[in-house]
Amino acid sequence: MRKFNFSAGPAVLPLPVLEEVRDTLVDYRGNGLSLLECSHRSKMYEDVHNETISLFQELLGLPESHKVIFLGGGATLQFSMVPMNFLTPGKACDMVVSGAWAKKALSDAKKIGDVKVVFDGAETKYTTLPKSDTIYNPDAAYVHITSNETIGGLQWKTFPDTGDVPLIADMSSDIMSTPLPVEKFSMIYAGAQKNLGPSGVAVAVIHEKLLERCPKSLTAYLNYGIHSEKNSLYNTPPVFSIYIMMLVLRWVKAQGGVAKMSELSSQKAGAIYREIDSSGGFYSCPVEKESRSVMNVIFRLPSEELDKKFLKEAEALDMIGLKGYRDVGGCRASLYNAMPLEGALTLAGFMKDFAAANG
């Protein structure tokens, strides 16, 4: 029996994807070898590589101008590569510090160049996002945001208009969960292991105009321009992770695409937030209502003892991965695309029962 896995990442994958991986593992489509064993320059892999890129373009509705690149090093390496490639000397970048992941991006960018923090959520303990009157610097090299704070449970619902200044977003934990105004972004990046597939690959979508900035002085792997020019085959890409990502993207498409994922996300998150809000204060969510994430729902109970009891009983009912991030405590339900609606409804039902028995 499969458990409901609410883990923040690596996270739940669609069951049909896992089954197809199993069925194709040893002999890939009658080729007499595994995809794990084949050259990344072979036709067998090339088809996987190119289909994954086209599915990406199709599902996100990317214009021709936006190049799709696969990279190793996770989203974390992008915290360095973004400023190395795009933080033009003599300019500063604007950064929105919305929580734990944005702080990590900030810390790396500062080591590479000049940074201006245009919003810092510290005053509200990272429970709020910038309002529409936030001022972005018209001369900035770029603006960097984190579309969904996986640990804090905050998610941007509308994106700032930064004019000619490129907008760059870390979308690791909500990419493909909602239709995007992609033309607003010069770059989007994401580690795969939340909403796209297994760990081992990160995806970057970069506007060709921004790619012109990549400095020639960078070493090869660190230069986005080289990855783009070589169609992400400058070196050996994470072949098997990309294969599983392709299967996940096919699955998203078959379910009805990103619009359908968005509808389901609202239903899943809605069911959990409803339990929180109707519990008379038994459950609480610190995040301002308009910024509540539909991907990572954060809540706590009246005491740490009750948090523990809740997690233990949930686990006995085969709901796992609900423990909040180590520094944050409480509970967190991650509701990525592959989490079935039934999982969220089961959790909501348990929350109701638990509050009635312990409130």
Binding-site residue numbers for L-glutamate are 41
The position carrying tokens 């040893």 is 26
Q: Taking the CB of residue 100, how many other CB atoms lie within 10 A of it? A: 16
Q: How far apart are CA 240 and CA 34, in angstroms?
A: 10
191 lines the binding site for ligand PLP (CB under 6 A): yes
291 lines the binding site for ligand PLP (CB under 6 A): no
318 catalytic? Reply is no
User: Nearer to ligand PLP by C-beta: 38 or 100?
Assistant: 100
Q: How far apart are CA 265 and CA 96, in angstroms?
A: 25
146 lines the binding site for ligand PLP (CB under 6 A): yes
Asked if 314 and 322 count as a contact pair (C-beta separation under 8 A), the reply is: yes
User: Nearer to ligand PLP by C-beta: 55 or 295?
Assistant: 295
CB of 130 to ligand PLP, least distance (A): 17
CB of 286 to ligand PLP, least distance (A): 18
User: What count of residues does the chain have?
Assistant: 359
Q: Taking the CB of residue 157, how many other CB atoms lie within 10 A of it? A: 12
Tell me which long-range contacts 174-177 makes (C-beta under 8 A, separation of at least 24): 174/147, 174/148, 174/293, 174/294, 174/295, 175/147, 175/203, 176/59, 176/60, 176/249, 176/252, 176/258, 176/261, 176/337, 177/258, 177/261, 177/262, 177/265, 177/294, 177/295, 177/336, 177/337
150 lines the binding site for ligand PLP (CB under 6 A): yes
81 lines the binding site for ligand PLP (CB under 6 A): no
156 lines the binding site for ligand PLP (CB under 6 A): no
Listed ranges 33-41, 52-60, 71-79, 257-265: which one lies at the site for ligand PLP (CB under 6 A): 71-79
Q: Which of 67, 194, 268, 323 is catalytic?
A: 194
101 catalytic? Reply is yes
Q: How far apart are CA 292 and CA 312, in angstroms?
A: 25
- One residue of 28, 101, 136, 336 binding ligand PLP per CB under 6 A: 101
Nearest 5°: CA angle at 199, between 195 and 203? 65
238 lines the binding site for ligand PLP (CB under 6 A): no
- One residue of 59, 69, 75, 298 binding ligand PLP per CB under 6 A: 75
Q: Give the residue from 7, 56, 117, 106 showing the smallest Cα distance to 252.
A: 56
Asked if 168 and 304 count as a contact pair (C-beta separation under 8 A), the reply is: no
CB of 43 to ligand PLP, least distance (A): 30
Q: How far apart are CA 106 and CA 287, in angstroms?
A: 22
Considering only residues 163 to 182 of the shown chain, the ones binding ligand PLP according to CB under 6 A are 170, 172-173
74 lines the binding site for ligand PLP (CB under 6 A): yes
Give the tokens for residue 135. Answer: 């001022």
Q: Which of 94, 170, 174, 307 is catalytic?
A: 170
User: Nearer to ligand PLP by C-beta: 95 or 351?
Assistant: 95
Listed ranges 19-27, 74-82, 318-326, 349-357: which one lies at the site for ligand PLP (CB under 6 A): 74-82
CB of 171 to ligand PLP, least distance (A): 7
CB of 317 to ligand PLP, least distance (A): 26
Asked if 63 and 183 count as a contact pair (C-beta separation under 8 A), the reply is: yes
Name the residues that contact ligand PLP, by CB under 6 A. Answer: 9, 74-76, 101, 146, 150, 170, 172-173, 191, 194, 202
Residues belonging to the active site: 101, 170, 194
